[in-house]
Amino acid sequence: MSDLVIRDLRVNVADKEILKGLTLTVEQGKVHALMGPNGSGKSTLAYTLMGHPNYEVTGGEVIFKDQNILELEPDQRSHLGVFLAFQYPVAIPGVSVANFLRSAVNAHRKAADPEYKGIPIPEFRTLLKEKMDKLKMDHSFAGRYLNDGFSGGEKKRAEILQMATLMPNMAILDETDSGLDIDALRNVAEGVEALRGPDFGALIITHYQRILNYVKPDVIHIMLDGRIAETGGPDLALKLEEHGYDWIREKHGEAAAA
C-alpha cells in the first residue's frame, strides 16, 4: 500500500506564503476529508499536489510510492496514480467524453509500457460501459462533448467517471460538492463510494459537512492558516457544523487566527 505523505509543505502564491509547514498523511484504502474556511489553503494544497505552475514550493516534500512527487511533472504524477477532480472542470467542445477517456487510458498505459499500441476500441467500449454501469450512468453520456453544456452535477459526474476509468491509487477531490443540489451531490457521493477499496485512497476537500452525509470519511482534518489545526474521526465534522470554525481558532490561538 502507498500512503500520500506530506511533510512540512510550504507554498507561495504571488509571493505570499499560503501553506506554512503543512504536514498530513492520507492513507491508501481510506477516505480523508479536509475542511476549512475560505483562504485557509485547501485548494492551494490540491493544485500543489498536482504540480500547477503558479504554486511555488519553498519547502517540504510529498512522498508517494517512494518518490517525492514534487520533483515530477504533472503527467508523471498522474501516471504514478494521483488524480485531481477539479472544483471547476473545463469544457472541451468537439471532444467526446469517450474519446477523452480513451486518450487518457492510452497515455497511462503507454507511460507504463512505451511499446503499448493503444487499447482496442471494443475493449475500451466494454471497459467504459462497465464503469458507467457501476456509477449508474446512462451510456449516451459517453457521446457528449466533455463538459460542454453540462450542468454542475454532470460535470462532477464526468470527473468521477474519469476517476473510475483511470482507477488512481490516490484521488484528490477539490470541493466536488461546490454548487451541487442534493440530488447531484448524492449521485457524486455514490460514485465515490462505489470506488472505495484497499487500493484507493481519497482526500475530499470541502467547506461543508453535507457531502460527508453521503461519503463516510475515515479521518477528518481541519485546516486553518496554511496548516492542519485538528485531526479526528467523523464526529469532528458534526462538531464543526454545530460550532463553526471559531472554536478551532480559539483553541489554537494566534497560530490559527488568519
Whether 179 has a pLDDT exceeding 90, the answer reads no
In this predicted structure, what is the pLDDT of residue 255?
47
Band of pLDDT at residue 253, cut at 50, 70 and 90: low
Cα dist. 94→27, 32, 212 in Å? 38, 36, 35
Mean pLDDT over 80-99 rounds to: 93
Whether 258 has a pLDDT exceeding 50, the answer reads no
Range scoring the smallest mean pLDDT among 4-8, 150-154, 191-195: 191-195
CATH architecture of 4-242: 3-Layer(aba) Sandwich (3.40)
Whether 188 has a pLDDT exceeding 70, the answer reads yes
Band of pLDDT at residue 1, cut at 50, 70 and 90: low
Whether 202 has a pLDDT exceeding 90, the answer reads yes
- Whether the Cβ atoms of residue 96 and residue 144 lie closer than 8 Å to each other: yes
Band of pLDDT at residue 133, cut at 50, 70 and 90: very high
In this predicted structure, what is the pLDDT of residue 10?
98
DSSP annotation of 253 reads G
In this predicted structure, what is the pLDDT of residue 256?
43
Could you tell me the pTM of the whole model? 0.90
SS3 of 208, please? coil
In this predicted structure, what is the pLDDT of residue 91?
94
In this predicted structure, what is the pLDDT of residue 254?
47
Spans of all domains in the chain: 4-242
Mean pLDDT over 7-24 rounds to: 97
Mean pLDDT over 231-241 rounds to: 87
Mean pLDDT over 61-77 rounds to: 97
Gap between the Cα atoms of 65 and 175, Å rounded: 25
- Name the residue among 40, 41, 42 with its Cα closest to residue 32: 42
Say how many CA atoms lie within 13 Å of 69 toward its Cβ: 29
In this predicted structure, what is the pLDDT of residue 180?
77
Whether 60 has a pLDDT exceeding 90, the answer reads yes
Whether 44 has a pLDDT exceeding 90, the answer reads yes
Whether 56 has a pLDDT exceeding 50, the answer reads yes
3-state secondary structure 56-76: EEEEEEEEECCEEHHHCCHHH
In this predicted structure, what is the pLDDT of residue 7?
98
Terminal-to-terminal C-alpha distance of the chain: 36
Gap between the Cα atoms of 71 and 48, Å rounded: 12
For all residues of the chain together, what is the average pLDDT? 91
Range scoring the smallest mean pLDDT among 95-109, 175-189, 202-216: 175-189
In this predicted structure, what is the pLDDT of residue 67?
96
In this predicted structure, what is the pLDDT of residue 190?
83
